[in-house]
Structures are given as C-alpha cells and as structure tokens.
C-alpha cells in the first residue's frame, strides 16, 4: 500500500515537472515573439519603411498572443488554486502545506509571474502598434492632402488662362499670330500670379481642424510679416 502511494506521488511529480517544463518553453517562445516585434519599434529609422498593412498584420498577431497568454495565465492560476499555492512572488511566502505543492511552489509562482510580465509587455506592444498605425495613417492622409493641393495649384494656373482665352476669343484680333496676341499674355500672367497669391494668402486662415477663420488668418499673416 505504501509502495502504491509512493508510486502515485512519483507519477504526480513527473506530471507536474512535464507541465512546468511545457510552460517554461512556452514563455521562451512568447518572449522571442514579443521581442522580435518590440525591437523594430525601438529603431527610429524603421518608421519610414513601415507600411500600414504590415502594422495591421502585426497588430492582428499581437491580439492572438495576448489571448493565448490570458488563457495560459488562467490555466496556471487554476492549477495553483487546486494545489493551494499562493500567488505571491517566488520565495516571498512560506511553503505550501501540501508537500507535493511545496516542492513545485516556486516553479508555479515563477511561471505565473513571468506570464503576467509577458502579458503586460504584449499589452504595451499592442498600444504602441495601435498608436503607430494611427501615425502612419495620418502620414498617408498628409501625403494625399499634399497631392490634392498640388492638383489644386495646377488648376489655379489653368483657370485664369481658360478665362482669359474665353474672354479674348470673342474677337479675332487676339488670336495666336495676330498683332494683339501679346495682350493675352499681358492679361493672363498677372491674373495667374494674382490668383496664386490670393490662394496662398487665404490658405493662412485654416486652423488645425481645417476651418477657415479670420482670426487665424490675421494671426498667421502677422507672424509672416514680422518674420519677414
């Protein structure tokens, strides 16, 4: 009877050792994955090469990591409750009353603590990826806005030319090759310059929300005049 009880305890010890070894390997695995995603974020030179789609894929992967770590923390905590192992840091409490539990108490406490540390790192990484994705999205919006602004400036150049052409087309004297064709350029070029200057000046009146306000226009115009 005593031999059977001892054999049962040995089997339990072997099973617990297998479980703890499994969790230690899992922690090394998740530590490597999280570090591989943390390191690029610490390099400023990598930000310019990041794409929004790539960041979204990393964000999706970190969600799976967070979910897995939460599940493992829950499983370890349930095991510790069943073995009556306290949740304090290793070595900070007295051994558990169960001899079998006291032998593996520090192992489970260490695993539980490290899993929580990994979960915290994953949460911080998730917040960083979310913020970086927003930054990349804002940069893309700025690039698109600059492209639209360029197209608008091109349109501002051709609109006065079209207007002048339509105006002078009412008379044959201003057609290309005629004596009065030079009048077209004399009128068009100052008109183009005036329209571009007006558009540039009015652009000073937009605030950070994209709303045109006279107060903003006057303050920026005053700064430009003072700096000039």
Work out the average pLDDT over 159-180.
71
N-term to C-term CA, the chain: 99
Cα(83)–Cα(194) distance, integer angstroms: 84
CA–chain centroid gap for 216, Å, is 31
Q: What pTM was computed for the model?
A: 0.56
Of 12-26, 84-98, 144-158, 201-215, highest mean pLDDT? 12-26
What lies within 8 Å, CB to CB, of 172 at 6+ separation is 178
pLDDT band at 119 (very low <50, low <70, confident <90, very high): very high
The residue written with tokens 């068009």 in the block is 188
pLDDT of residue 1: 45
Q: For all residues of the chain together, what is the average pLDDT?
A: 76
DSSP SS3 for 206: strand
What SS3 state is found at 212?
A: strand
16-45: per-residue pLDDT in tens? 788 888 888 999 999 999 888 888 777 655
Could you tell me if 29 and 65 are in contact, meaning their C-beta atoms sit under 8 angstroms apart? no
pLDDT computed for residue 114 by the predictor? 92
48-106 pLDDT, tens digit each:
555 666 777 888 888 999 999 999 999 999 988 887 888 876 655 555 555 555 667 88
> Could you give all domains of the chain from N- to C-terminal order, each with its CATH number?
1-144 (1.20.58), 145-226 (no CATH)
């Amino acid at each position: 009877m005593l031999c059977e009880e001892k054999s049962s305890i040995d089997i339990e010890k072997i099973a617990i050792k297998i479980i703890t070894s499994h969790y230690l390997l899992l922690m090394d695995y998740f530590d490597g994955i999280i570090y591989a995603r943390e390191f690029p974020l610490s390099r400023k030179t990598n930000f310019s090469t990041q794409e929004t789609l790539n960041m979204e894929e990393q964000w999706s992967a970190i969600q799976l990591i967070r979910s897995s770590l939460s599940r493992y923390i829950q499983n370890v905590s349930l095991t510790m409750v069943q073995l009556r192992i306290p949740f304090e840091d290793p070595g900070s409490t007295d051994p558990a009353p169960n001899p079998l539990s006291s032998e593996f108490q520090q192992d489970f406490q260490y695993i539980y603590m490290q899993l929580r540390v990994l979960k915290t790192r994953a949460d911080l990484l998730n917040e960083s990826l979310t913020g970086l994705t927003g930054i990349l999205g804002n940069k893309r919006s700025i690039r698109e806005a600059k492209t639209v602004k360029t197209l608008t400036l091109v349109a501002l150049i051709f609109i006065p030319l079209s207007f002048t052409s339509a105006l002078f087309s009412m008379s044959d004297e201003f057609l290309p090759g005629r004596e009065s064709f030079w009048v077209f350029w004399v009128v068009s070029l100052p008109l183009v310059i005036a329209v571009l200057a007006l558009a540039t000046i009015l652009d000073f009146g937009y605030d950070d929300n994209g709303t045109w306000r006279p107060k903003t226009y006057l303050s920026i115009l005053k700064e430009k005049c003072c700096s000039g």
